Amino acid sequence: MKRILILNGPNLNLLGKREPSVYGSQSFEDYFQTLQSTFPSAELHYYQSNHEGALIDKIHELGFTFDGLVINAGGLTHTSVALADALSAVPMPAVEVHISNIHAREAFRHHSFLTSRCRGMICGLGLRGYELAVKYLLEAA
């Protein structure tokens, strides 16, 4: 059974409440139950933090033993060299996900420090991006 970590960064704890026109009206905890039902043969783990160091610590903790990472670093995507370095430091393959289309938003959101450290990036498909990322990681060799 493959183990996949889903890691959400700052402000994603407010999904379902924050800007529903951009991020939807469903909480991630509710959506996570849907993911678990969709992928019963996988062991999915979810962690969210508003703190950069906590996200880095989680990558260090599980990055040598888990089979894949789905990461939505929120605003840290565009600012955190340290988070990018953490992804490079572990062998766990990662897929970057963004609920909104970051390329259709403010110019500062167009650059990601994480993309070059990930197998790929999915953006603009809402919460469905997480499902596609998990599916990819489960099917990847």
pLDDT tens, position by position, 7-42: 999 999 999 898 888 787 889 999 999 999 999 999
Residues belonging to the binding site are: 72, 78, 85, 99-100, 109
**With bands split at pLDDT 50, 70 and 90, how would you rate the model's confidence at 141?**
low
Is the predicted pLDDT of residue 43 greater than 70, yes or no? yes
**Could you report the per-residue pLDDT of 61-94, keeping only the tens digit for each?**
999 999 999 999 999 999 999 999 999 999 999 9
Residue with token string 């766990």 = 92
Domain-wise residue ranges, the chain:
3-139
- Choose the catalytic residue: 23, 45, 51, 136: 23
Residue 98 appears among annotated catalytic residues: yes
What's the average model confidence in pLDDT over 90-113?
88
To the query of whether residue 31 is one of the catalytic residues in this protein, the response is no
Kindly state the average pLDDT of the residues 102-108. Answer: 78
Could you give the strand order of the β-sheet that contains 3-8, starting from the edge strand earlier in sequence? 43-48, 3-8, 68-72, 94-98, 120-123
Catalytic residue among 98, 103, 110, 111: 98
Please report, in range form, the residues annotated as the binding site for substrate.
Answer: 72, 78, 85, 99-100, 109
- Fold annotation for 3-139: Rossmann fold (3.40.50)
Mean pLDDT of the chain: 94
Give pTM, 2 decimals: 0.94
137 pLDDT more than 80: yes
> What pLDDT sits at residue 106?
74
Q: How far apart are CA 62 and CA 39, in angstroms?
A: 20
CA-derived radius of gyration, the chain: 14
| DSSP codes, 82-97 | HHHHHHHHS---EEEE
pLDDT of residue 22: 78
Question: What's the sign of the alpha-carbon dihedral 42, 20, 15, 5?
Answer: positive
